[in-house]
């Protein structure tokens, strides 16, 4: 098999520092990620390749219940139903929308929170009313 290596210079999406990274790939496979001493960037490849990483939607009824794999449509419908039920029972202010490090989701999360009627939108570093 012929390797078609590609080197891409970019910025790290794992935090808000936007540190420079260099990613070497062969088609869909990441061969290496180089970065200037960033703990989060160090874990990128490990997170992507982990056997524990969820790659299919799943739902569960409660924190002690097992996960069951569902289609994306079913998982979104289930989640929407639960959110709407919470809003009806307790009001939109009772729901907080929280995200971790990945910054790409922030504008969408904020739009979802505001459309839902919740003023609570949080990530690892910022809060937006």
Global pTM reads 0.67
The β-bridge relationship of strands 97-98 and 68-69 is unpaired
For residues 96 and 75, state if they share a domain.
Answer: yes
Residue 42 covered by a domain: yes
Domain count within the chain: 2
Distance CA 11, CA 44 (A): 12
Which of the pair, 3 or 32, is modelled with greater confidence? 32
Helix (H) or strand (E) holding 112: helix 106-116
For residues 67 and 110, state if they share a domain.
Answer: yes
Residue 129 covered by a domain: no
User: Which single residue is written with the structure tokens 């390797």?
Assistant: 3
- What are the residues whose beta carbons fall under 8 Å from the beta carbon of 44, sequence distance 6 or more? 12, 14, 33
Residue 26 covered by a domain: yes
Please report the pLDDT score of residue 117 as a whole number: 97
Give pLDDT tens digits for 68-109. Answer: 999 999 999 999 999 999 999 999 999 999 987 667 778 899
Query: Where does the pLDDT of residue 128 fall: very low under 50, low under 70, confident under 90, or very high at 90 and above?
Result: low
DSSP-derived secondary structure letter, 66: P
Contact 12, 41 (CB under 8 A): yes
């Amino acid at each position: 098999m012929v390797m078609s290596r590609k080197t891409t210079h970019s910025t790290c999406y794992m935090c808000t520092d936007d540190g420079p990274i260099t990613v070497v790939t062969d088609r869909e496979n990441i061969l290496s990620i180089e970065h200037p001493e960033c703990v989060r960037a160090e874990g990128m490849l490990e997170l992507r390749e982990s056997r524990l990483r969820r790659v299919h939607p799943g739902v569960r009824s409660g924190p002690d219940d097992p996960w069951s794999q569902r289609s994306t449509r079913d998982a979104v419908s289930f989640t929407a139903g639960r959110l709407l039920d919470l809003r009806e029972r307790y009001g939109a202010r009772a729901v907080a929308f929280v995200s971790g490090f990945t910054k790409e989701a922030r504008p969408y999360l904020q739009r979802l929170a505001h459309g839902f009627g919740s003023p609570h939108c949080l990530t690892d570093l910022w809060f937006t009313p």
